[in-house]
């Protein structure tokens, strides 16, 4: 934000909000045409460098980036049937109070909107914004393709390869964690973070190779990976310890019993078997959710990448033209996408794109 806008924002009076996720709303009227409100709203967001995350005929949503590009507020501008424009700013994180920041955002938006409305109305730029917005949203410049790229060839989903890859990754991570735990200091939370992201990334690549993207079975497989990794880690630690101390007569189950009885010590505090059990659960559960999140992103991108961009664009165009699903399937069939499985892949890719957009709005 430039100095002029910062000075303008500093002149706006704060109005405090108290809530788990504080928010503030205010409305105003404008004398510009209704069809120019949304285009000008987008222009204001661009001036303020607040990324737009959603637009339709009646509203625009944007998010403000704070320090380190962290999103701090969500700003929603809505045209009301009464002819007024409502501006709402909501804190994304739960802070219980916003110290007046949301009122600053809404006030700044309204001030810039009214300023640009007066300037652009006089210069004729309002009409330009309106025309450009209509072109972007009614597919005026879109040329319907005479042909589409052919569907890509993909093998059948390979569950066997998926399971083999999962076991290999789990065992390797178990060995690595055991080595680091025995030979270096164990940092709880740090190791789990690395495990979750690492397993999520590598298993995501396996899933792409095996073309296996059924998410429900994937969740169970990842759960199994965490158990295998944990057992591998414990058994490898046992092997390293008995080798180093020459106590080969100690069995694995005796070793685990001794660890259980000894409990978990954090500096001078011994948390006992309860603390040890909770730490073991944490070592599996926290990485599990991290891995699932990473895998979900990788598989979603893979689903989208499977479909040529030209095909996705054409299909979205058909739906925007109010075509039914059966009509869209017929249009795709005429252009070489006649297999129902290929058509389903297109629809699935569009659903993932929609999910990304929805997540971006949250």
Q: Looking at residue 268, what is its pLDDT? A: 67
Distance CA 236, CA 166 (A): 19
DSSP H or E segment with residue 174: helix 159-183
Q: Looking at residue 313, what is its pLDDT? A: 94
Q: Which of 326, 312, 281 is nearest to 149 (CA)?
A: 312
On whether the 3-137 domain is CATH 3.30.310.80, my answer is: yes
Half-sphere exposure of 229 (CA within 13 A, CB side): 28
Q: Copy the structure tokens of residue 331.
A: 């249009």
Q: Looking at residue 189, what is its pLDDT? A: 76
Q: Copy the structure tokens of residue 148.
A: 């589409």
Start-to-end CA distance of the chain, whole Å, equals 23
Distance CA 52, CA 42 (A): 7
Q: Which of 96, 134, 148, 84 is nearest to 313 (CA)?
A: 148
Distance CA 30, CA 53 (A): 24
Three-state secondary structure call for residue 189? coil
CA-angle at 129, arms to 125 and 131, nearest 5°? 115
Distance CA 119, CA 86 (A): 21
Q: Looking at residue 319, what is its pLDDT? A: 93
- Residues 6 or more apart whose CB falls under 8 angstroms from that of 226 comprise 170, 284, 285, 287, 288, 291
Per-residue pLDDT tens digits of the chain, which is 362 residues long? 677 777 777 778 888 888 888 899 999 999 899 999 999 999 999 999 899 999 988 999 999 876 666 777 899 999 988 889 999 999 887 777 888 889 999 999 999 999 999 999 889 999 999 988 888 888 878 889 989 999 988 888 999 999 999 999 999 999 999 998 888 877 777 889 999 999 999 999 999 999 999 999 999 999 999 999 999 999 999 898 888 888 877 888 888 888 777 777 666 666 777 877 888 899 899 999 999 999 999 999 999 999 999 999 999 999 988 999 999 999 999 999 999 999 999 999 999 998 888 887 77
Phi, psi of 174 (to 5 degrees): -60, -45
Pair 74, 63: CB distance under 8 Å: yes
CA-angle at 257, arms to 256 and 260, nearest 5°? 85
**Inter-CA distances, 353 with 29, 113, 292, 346, 349, Å:** 35, 31, 19, 11, 6
Report the predicted TM-score, pTM, of the whole model to 2 decimal places.
0.75
Q: Which of 34, 82, 30, 74 is nearest to 50 (CA)?
A: 74
Distance CA 166, CA 261 (A): 32
């Amino acid at each position: 934000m430039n100095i002029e806008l910062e000075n303008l924002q500093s002149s706006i009076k704060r109005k405090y909000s108290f809530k788990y996720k504080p928010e503030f709303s205010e409305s105003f009227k404008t004398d510009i045409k209704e069809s120019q409100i949304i285009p000008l709203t987008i222009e204001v967001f661009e001036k303020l460098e607040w990324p737009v995350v959603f637009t339709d005929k009646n509203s625009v949503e944007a998010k403000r980036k704070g320090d380190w590009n962290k999103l701090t507020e969500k700003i929603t501008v809505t045209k009301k049937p009464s002819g007024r424009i409502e501006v709402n700013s909501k804190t994304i994180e739960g802070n219980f109070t916003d110290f007046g920041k949301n009122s600053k955002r809404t006030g700044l938006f309204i001030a810039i909107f009214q300023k640009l409305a007066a300037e652009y109305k006089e210069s004729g730029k309002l009409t330009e914004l309106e025309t450009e917005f209509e072109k972007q949203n009614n597919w005026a410049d879109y040329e319907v393709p005479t042909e589409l790229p052919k569907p890509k060839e993909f093998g059948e989903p390979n569950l066997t390869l998926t399971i083999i890859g999962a076991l290999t990754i789990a065992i390797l991570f178990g060995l690595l964690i055991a080595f680091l735990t025995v030979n270096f200091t164990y940092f709880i939370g740090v190791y789990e973070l690395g495990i979750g992201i690492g397993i999520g990334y590598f298993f995501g690549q396996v899933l792409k190779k095996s073309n296996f993207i059924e998410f429900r079975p994937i969740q169970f497989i990842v759960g199994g990976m965490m158990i295998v990794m944990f057992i591998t880690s414990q058994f490898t630690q046992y092997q390293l310890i008995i080798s180093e101390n020459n106590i080969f007569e100690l069995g694995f189950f005796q070793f685990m019993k001794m660890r259980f009885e000894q409990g978990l010590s954090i500096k001078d505090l011994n948390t006992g078997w309860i603390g040890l059990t909770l730490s073991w659960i944490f070592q599996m559960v926290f990485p599990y959710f991290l891995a699932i999140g990473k895998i979900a992103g990788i598989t979603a991108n893979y689903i989208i990448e499977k479909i040529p961009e030209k095909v996705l664009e054409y299909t979205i165009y058909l739906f925007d033209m109010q075509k039914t699903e059966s009509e869209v399937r017929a249009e795709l069939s005429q252009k070489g996408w006649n297999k129902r499985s290929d058509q389903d892949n297109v629809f699935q890719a569009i659903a993932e794109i929609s999910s990304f957009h929805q997540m971006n709005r949250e």
